[in-house]
Amino acid sequence: MLPTDLSNAMLLTALLLAFTHFATPIAYYSYLKIRWLHRPWNIKRDPGYRPRVTIVVPTYNEAKVIESKLDDIARQDYPKELVEVIVVDSASTDETPAKVEEWAHRNPSIKLVLVRELVRRGKAHALNHALKYATGDIVVITDADATWSSSNTLSNAMSWFSDPAIGAVTCLKIPAGKGLMSVEESYRELYNVVRLAESKKHSTPVFHGELAAFRRSLLERVGGFPTSIGADDSNTATRVALMGYRSIAVDNAWCTEKVPSREYYTWRIRRAQHLVQHFTKTMKWLLRAPGELKLVLLAETWLHLANPWLLLASTLLLLYLAITGSTTALILLALGALLLTLKLFRTWITTQTYLVIATLRNIQTKEIVWEKQEKE
Ligand code: GDD
Ligand code: MN
């Protein structure tokens, strides 16, 4: 048994940590939802605006999906003469390059260039390589295993660039696949609200590889995609926002991403690792962020880098207290376990766990060149 004073102090600390852990995201979410989500966009969007577009598809062993990916691009209602597609392949060991060439042969109306890297150095490296061949005003990055939800997704996404204040545009995400669907779905619902509200306020610091569009001139100004961290899209979008432009997620462009059926956890942890790398890098720039962006960056940095650890610390304290005889701690832990039956709570706790594991894993490997997780 611990002395009562010490035990009480520890219990109070655990409660304070847990309170802060849950209160900050709830406060931020409520603020976004109440103050920003339903506001009209303060953007001059021209629905008919059609800039010249370069679509870049990075591939490493995507033979299974690359043809349907290119079909998905071809079915877009965007004027064909305004589109060029660059597939940048990094030494795939499967049939990807051959499939791309065959597809190009079958679809002569689409301007397509296949760029081949002899060595695989990661997605961002490949994107920078592709940029050398890009001529469009807007560069759209899209993953091979992603689908755009309708034939006007590209047109809708591009229309925002009619406002010169917009520097980058990304889609919102619909989860699909046979993975852990229910958790993935509630995670997405929550995050789409956050992405959209942050965008209405100024910019969102989290972009999606399923559709990440940038003004090419700005990509040049920021020196291309960062090759030392994993979240190339999010980090580049944030750097664009720090230059005073807006990097927004829009509610008229939706993307479907395949959720891996196997190795789901590896996949989530790797992506969390990339976000942690991104926010660690962003932290240095917080002070020079434009006013409206500062709070968004501060909140997201806190939520990704610090907040998950409060939960861990609180849980460990409660566990220690429970083991050393505190009934209150035991009850609190049991209550927490009971709450895990709620989907939203479970989703939250798993996400926190991924972030903690991701931060630790980053010490060992940054996963810049990653193993592909099987998607069905
Ligand atoms: N050329 C090239 N070279 N392409 C690559 C490489 C590489 O070394 N590594 C991955 N890719 C391609 C894949 O073929 C796919 O089209 C896209 O990059 C995304 O890779 P996935 O393996 O599908 O990863 P993900 O969907 O889990 O990654 C997501 O998160 C990343 C950040 O964590 C996506 O949103 C990525 O765009 C994002 O960068
Ligand atoms: Mn993917």
Q: Which CATH number characterizes residue 359's domain?
A: 3.90.550.10
SS3 letters across 78-97: CCHHHEEEEEEEECCCCCHH
Which ligand 1 atom lies nearest to the CA of residue 208? 35
Secondary structure of residue 282 in the 3-state scheme: helix
What are the start-end ranges of the E strands in the chain? Answer: 53-59, 83-90, 111-117, 138-141, 146-148, 166-177, 212-215, 246-259
Q: Which domain holds residue 294?
A: 1-376
In DSSP terms, 246 is beta-bridged to: 166
**Contact yes or no for 209/171 (Cβ under 8 A):** no
Q: What is the band of 215 on the pLDDT scale with cuts at 50, 70, 90? A: very high
Percent of the chain with pLDDT over 70: 95
pLDDT at residue 190, as a whole number = 83
Sign of the CA dihedral 166, 221, 212, 208?
negative
327 token code pair: 């009934």
CA 260–ligand 2 middle distance (angstroms): 9
Average pLDDT, the chain: 94
Sign (positive/negative) of CA torsion 334, 335, 336, 337? Answer: positive
Residue 113 has pLDDT above 90, yes or no: yes
In this predicted structure, the answer to whether residue 178 has a pLDDT above a threshold of 80 is no
Using alpha carbons, select from 240, 235, 220, 243 the residue that is nearest to residue 123: 235
Token digits for 236? 């580049």
Q: Which ligand is nearest to the CA of 57?
A: 1
Judge whether 352 and 311 are in contact, CB under 8 Å. Answer: yes
Residue 3 has pLDDT above 50, yes or no: yes
Residue 182 burial (C-beta neighbours within 10 Å; 0-12, 13-18, 19+): exposed
- Per DSSP, 286 falls in state G
pLDDT at 260: 80
Predicted pLDDT of residue 257: 80
Which residues are CB-neighbours of 123 under 8 A, at least 6 positions away? 58, 60, 209, 232
Find all residues with CB under 8 Å of 309, minimum gap 6, and list them.
356
Q: Nearest 5°: phi and psi at 23?
A: -70, -40
List pocket residues of ligand 1, CB cut-off 6 Å: 58-60, 62, 88-90, 120, 122-123, 126, 143-145, 208-209, 230-233, 267, 271, 274, 369, 372
- What is d(CA 312, CA 21) in angstroms, rounded to the nearest whole number? 10
What gap in Å lies between CA 8 and CA 321, rounded to an integer? 10
Strands 146-148 and 246-259, how do they pair?
Answer: antiparallel
Atom of ligand 1 nearest to the CA of 372: 22
Residue 257 Cα, ligand 2 centroid: separation in angstroms?
7
pLDDT of res. 181: 59
Q: How high is the pLDDT of residue 370?
A: 78
Total domain count for the chain?
1
Please check the confidence at residue 186 and state whether its pLDDT lies above 90: no
